[in-house]
Structure 1
Amino acid sequence: MKKRIDEVNILRAIACLAVVMVHISAIPVSTLQSDSIHMKIFSLLNRSVKFTTPTFIFLSGLTLFYSYKDKRLHYFSFLKKRLSITLIPYFVWTLIYYKYFIHEGYYVFSWSFLIENILLADMSYHLYFILTILQFYLLFGVFLYAFKKFPSHFVLGTLFVISLLTIKYVRFPYMDRFFARHVFFFGLGCYAAMNIDMLREKLLKYQYLITAGYIGISSYYGYQFYQYYGLGKPIKSFTIELTWTIFCFIAIMFYYVVAYHIANKQNSILNKTLKKVAKASYYVYLSHPLGIFLSEKFLTNAGMLSITRRFLLNVIIVYGTVVPLAILYTSLKGNLTQNYKSRKLKKTTLQADL
């Protein structure tokens, strides 16, 4: 039996909570005056948690490869399971966002518009990730074969080169959801699954150096963002993308160490809470922009004009509603599923006895 990697769920919860902060903090970043101290602070905050998409992709690579590294992959059964888990909630939430936007007067109903936005994962700004991760599910067999067939260092290095070449030379409208842009991080997850004990030992050995690296690269990434977004200074897009890639790599290592230490305190409230968040993370991810939209509308109707106060209230409202509701829904869904399986098993047993 494989050993559980308890820190994986903690890291997933951290990334889940961070992605909510990315989108909440983006509001003041887009509205504050560029020369204000608040703009600098929010730029740093926003960039320091901008590691989320690569982290989710890394975790997918790690968990999938760890599950299948010692057993045969039945491709169509694998796809059926992954797609049903991923796509059904995605379709439901795409319809929810479409309904909300129609209600607010942004859109009118159109079948062609709906189908196009479902296929391109473009109904809301965060749904692009679903299309990205689906590409990795489709290609997982290739990654599994490559890492088993060839030296893992060579494969990971090749994927890193592919990612760099993609962000430097490939340009098209939906580039943000193209798998090759993120392929290094999925490969990093596969690599970690193959060498988990060795990597964990190395990360713990150099944890203080990694912490310093995360603080340093976060500060530089925030400064760089402020320069080109806030002040409008010209910086090459490849330089920005390269900084982001390095930042995400170091952030994954840093938060993995953080997750490991939290996971070791199994009876702590923080550990138990983050495990619940991890179970509900997909629904937190899907629903949190709606929470932000509704919170912003409420604050506008209440006459709240202060950008900083709006941010603080958004944090309280969104985290205080979306996360608990997602946890509650996941818990109820799990109980209903378990009860259904129990009734089905009893029925099968009874028929066998007869």
Structure 2
Amino acid sequence: MKQPKIAEWTELRGLAFLAIVMQHNIAEYIYRADIAQPDAVMLTMIYHLTRFGTPTFVFLSGVLLFYHHRHAKPNYVRFIRKRFGDIYMPFIIWTLIYWLAVRVFTPAFWSSGMPDLGSFIRELFLPQTAYHLWFVLMVFQFYILFPLFLTGAHAVRKRLESNRSDHLSPKQITLAIIFSAAIVYILLMKWSYYDMSGWTDLLSEPWSSLLEYRSYSWIMYWFYFLLGAVCAWAVEGWRSWTAKALPWTITVFIVMYIWLGYDVLRGSEDTMNLNISTYLKPSTFIIIMAQMLMFYGLLALSRDRDLRFRRLLAWIGRYSFGGYLVHALVIYVIAYFTRPLHLSGWHLPITILSFAVTVVTALGISRGLSKLPGSRFTVGLSRIRNKSKESHTLSGTQTHIKRQASHSG
């Protein structure tokens, strides 16, 4: 049976998409040599409002996978084949588009005879030109391993249902598991940020390379996927809990927002170093969790209200995957015109304007491609058919059937 649609998941995906587009626009302008300090500080402040974006996509991937397969184990071959078409094929196509887009405008590409196909192959494993597509590679690892995660989730759930402890309820045990997992994950983030960079010099290949590119691995994001499983199995409980926790999540967010801003200002010199707030850092993990739970709680509180803002977020969320794939190309095009300009004192407004243009253009392209044949392989959406035409055809068919029935009667 088809599962009921959970509106806030699509809306949260829309918010995450907006956050990621803003991050990448900030990264385009904050490192320019002519940026004034007030603009750099303001862009850093905005940047720390967007840290929840990518981990929220991981959380939502877990939510949707576990939600739709809670009661039945999927056929693995069919499952992977579908995800390969919906996710990995768009990755390959857009990797090729970015690879060509950067090279066709250089004379060396045309004078070299044969293009360097080796660099394209490398892009399929370590995206550089399409820098944002690392996320597709990383999240696809969760899809490959999902049957194992689902088996583990069913085992834990079965154990909870059979638990007859007088001391702890299944809900309390679940919270204890989440809290324990969070502690383990914070330790992993501590090792990643403070220790692992030194380990690469002590290890041989391929282990040193695996550590160097650890941000491409699902291991660094598993906690968000775990939370997705918890949310998928207890949607109403999750809504209630995030709404009740709003005073705490808002407080934690404000405290960590101030701390992360101070941390970057303290660690930067002439240029703001946004890498100080990397995803793989304990303090960043805390603000991400506070933001994600805060936004979920706010959406849960307003879910019975028909708000234009929520409808807009739902529309953005629907086309967000295609918009994510194309948005960096839009930023490249805008940067082609802005990089030669002297923008001292204007980096903040130009970044905001670039963000708005990127969002509108990327979503417009995503929606346009969704109407074309093969849209599944370009934006991960099945082709949107003309509803009025389908309705007219159905009406005509029904009229024809009625006429045949009256004649036969």
Residue 64 (structure 1) shift: 0.6
Residue 86 (structure 1) shift: 0.4
Residue 321 (structure 1) shift: 1.6
Kept in 2, the 8 Å contact 1:132–1:177? The answer is yes
**1:69 aligned counterpart, secondary structure:** coil
Select which of 211, 215, 238 maps to 1:176: 215
Distance 1:39 1:202, change over 3 A: same
Once the two structures are overlaid, the 10-residue window that deviates more, 326-335 or 274-283, is 326-335
Distance 1:335 1:50, change over 3 A: closer
Residue 255 (structure 1) shift: 1.4
In structure 1, the residue matched to 2:289 is 249
5 Å-filtered alignment, 1:1-354, equals 2-31=3-32, 36-105=37-106, 108=109, 109-150=115-156, 151=160, 152-153=174-175, 156-157=178-179, 159-169=181-191, 171=196, 172-230=211-269, 241-261=281-301, 263-266=303-306, 268-300=307-339, 306-332=346-372, 333=375, 336=383, 338=385
2-structure distance, mates of 1:75, 1:315: 39
Distance 1:18 1:106, change over 3 A: farther
Amino acid in the other structure paired with 2:338: L
Distance 1:206 1:309, change over 3 A: closer
Residue 180 (structure 1) shift: 0.9
1:178-232 C-alpha deviation (Å, 9 max, x unpaired): 1111111111111111222112112112323322322332232222223223578
Residue 274 (structure 1) shift: 1.9
Q: TM-score, normalised by structure 1?
A: 0.85
Residue 6 (structure 1) shift: 1.2
Distance 1:149 1:313, change over 3 A: same
1-structure distance, mates of 2:288, 2:4: 27
Amino acid in the other structure paired with 1:119: F
1-structure distance, mates of 2:180, 2:270: 36
Residue 92 (structure 1) shift: 1.1
2-structure distance, mates of 1:260, 1:106: 54
Residue 335 (structure 1) shift: 7.6
Distance 1:107 1:282, change over 3 A: farther
Kept in 2, the 8 Å contact 1:13–1:275? The answer is yes
Once the two structures are overlaid, the 10-residue window that deviates more, 134-143 or 155-164, is 155-164
2-structure distance, mates of 1:68, 1:317: 38
1:135-170 C-alpha deviation (Å, 9 max, x unpaired): 111111122112221254565456435533433335
In structure 1, the residue matched to 2:397 is none
Kept in 2, the 8 Å contact 1:167–1:238? The answer is no
Residue 31 (structure 1) shift: 2.7
Amino acid in the other structure paired with 1:177: Y
Kept in 1, the 8 Å contact 2:252–2:290? The answer is yes
2-structure distance, mates of 1:174, 1:107: 29
Kept in 1, the 8 Å contact 2:7–2:314? The answer is no
1-structure distance, mates of 2:355, 2:226: 33
In structure 2, the residue matched to 1:350 is none
Amino acid in the other structure paired with 2:84: L
Amino acid in the other structure paired with 1:25: I
Once the two structures are overlaid, the 10-residue window that deviates more, 294-303 or 149-158, is 149-158
Residue 45 (structure 1) shift: 0.5
2-structure distance, mates of 1:85, 1:290: 20
Residue 102 (structure 1) shift: 0.5
Once the two structures are overlaid, the 10-residue window that deviates more, 13-22 or 115-124, is 115-124
Amino acid in the other structure paired with 1:168: K
1-structure distance, mates of 2:277, 2:24: 22
- C-alpha RMSD of matched pairs (Å): 3.3
Distance 1:48 1:58, change over 3 A: same
Amino acid in the other structure paired with 1:28: Y
Q: Which has the higher helix share?
A: 1
Number of residue equivalences: 342
Once the two structures are overlaid, the 10-residue window that deviates more, 125-134 or 163-172, is 163-172
Give unpaired runs (5+ residues) of structure 2: 110-114, 161-173, 197-210, 376-380, 395-409
Kept in 2, the 8 Å contact 1:214–1:251? The answer is yes
2-structure distance, mates of 1:141, 1:135: 12
Once the two structures are overlaid, the 10-residue window that deviates more, 116-125 or 237-246, is 237-246
**1:329 aligned counterpart, secondary structure:** helix
Residue 240 (structure 1) shift: 7.3
Kept in 2, the 8 Å contact 1:48–1:222? The answer is no
**1:31 aligned counterpart, secondary structure:** coil
Greater CA radius of gyration, 1 or 2? Answer: 2
Distance 1:254 1:33, change over 3 A: farther
Residue identity (%): 22
Kept in 2, the 8 Å contact 1:51–1:251? The answer is yes
Give unpaired runs (5+ residues) of structure 1: 347-354
2-structure distance, mates of 1:143, 1:169: 24
